Amino acid sequence: MAKYIYQYKSWPNFTWNEKEIQLILGKVRHLQGKIIGQISALGFSIKEDTMLTTLTLDVLKSSEIEGQLLNYEQVRSSIARRLGIEYAGMVHSNRNVEGVVEMMLDATQNYDKPIDEERLFGWHAALFPTGRSGMYKIDVARYRHGEMQIVSGAMGKEKIHYEAPSPKRVKYEMDQFLDWLNNNNEIDMVIKSAIAHFWFIIIHPFDDGNGRIVRAISDLLLARSDNSSQRFYSLSNQILIERKVYYKILQKIQYKEGEITEWITWFLNCLYRALKDTEQTIEKVLFKADFWDKHKNTILNSRQRLMLNKLLDGFEGKLKTSKWAKITKCSQDTALRDIKDLIEKGILRKEKSGGRSTNYELND
């Protein structure tokens, strides 16, 4: 029977190929710096809105990885309230949403504070305010007292994917982990985020909520790597996109004798793709800000402003007169007049594709 990584004598002394990792780490660090530069060029309200959107995405996607679908408006409203951001259409949030938001904001806004047992227990209590996970009563705000297996398959035909350290060992393992987390500052914070993620998952210290807590720890360390509480990229969103590979690689490395190059490389590449996605988003935001700056004196009606904002935000499908009329609730004739006016002003143009119906797009 194959041994788990924590059953080897070398545990938890991880090793990795520095040369292999430095290449992708350099790309990640360069992109982090570039994004911080792009962000500083944004106006205050756009920066605030971008951060609110990122944090909302992070909370939603981290929960979705665990199969929990939270309400977008509730999450966004809860974050906005806690950060003191006012916007129209704020809604009341239920306590499940409040708990996840509380944990995520504590991790990112207080990134420079130590992570101790009490703080982790506070996060766990916030995630499970009723003391239950679904219908089941669980150990809340303390380490698990039961065995932990990750299992799939029908009853009687279960397949064990992973068996975590016994509950007797959890406190000792977590003490070691937290000591390293708070005192070892020689490692680059991005690498530290990758190692912490893997190490915590292996210990699996709680009855439930381990995935969401470990992503909060990763986010905290990434905030330290940026030296900023302002979050503009979401690792959880990227992990959700690559979920199958994420679980596959964790399963593979859990049997290694402490050599985790493959895990760190995957983690850094996943983070790089999250940063690339953010870079494109910010470029769109900058383009939109630049567009409205250029047209601040252009006379436009409310329908035109609505549709231009939709186009700037990445309008799906083709823009036709009929769509314009439907979205702005006006007649086809009015829609055509609006469009022709924008063509004359050099803002829209007819798409070159031709065909039976005419489509319109933004002029470069």
Q: What is the pLDDT of residues 214-242, one digit of tens each?
A: 999 999 999 999 999 999 999 999 999 99
Gap between the Cα atoms of 148 and 201, Å rounded: 11
Looking at residue 46, what is its pLDDT?
86
Give ranges for CATH 1.10.3290.10 in the chain.
13-287
Give ranges for CATH 1.10.10.10 in the chain.
297-362
| Helices and strands in the chain: count of H runs, count of E runs | 14, 6
Q: What is the pLDDT of residues 117-149, one digit of tens each?
A: 999 999 999 999 999 998 999 999 999 999 999
Gap between the Cα atoms of 361 and 85, Å rounded: 34
**Which position has the token pair 């031709």?**
354
Q: What is the pLDDT of residues 68-115, one digit of tens each?
A: 999 999 999 999 999 999 887 889 999 999 999 999 999 999 999 999
Looking at residue 152, what is its pLDDT?
86
> Are the C-beta atoms of 249 and 263 separated by less than 8 Å?
yes
Looking at residue 15, what is its pLDDT?
98
- Counting residues of the chain whose pLDDT is more than 70, the rounded percentage is 99
**Is CATH 1.20.1730.10 what the domain over 297-362 is classified as, yes or no?**
no
Looking at residue 32, what is its pLDDT?
97
13-287 fold: Fic-like fold (1.10.3290)
**Rounded average pLDDT over 297-316:** 92
User: CB burial class (10 A; 0-12, 13-18, 19+) of residue 54?
Assistant: buried
Looking at residue 43, what is its pLDDT?
84
Categorize the per-residue pLDDT at 355 as very low, low, confident or very high, splitting at 50, 70 and 90. Answer: low
User: CB burial class (10 A; 0-12, 13-18, 19+) of residue 254?
Assistant: buried
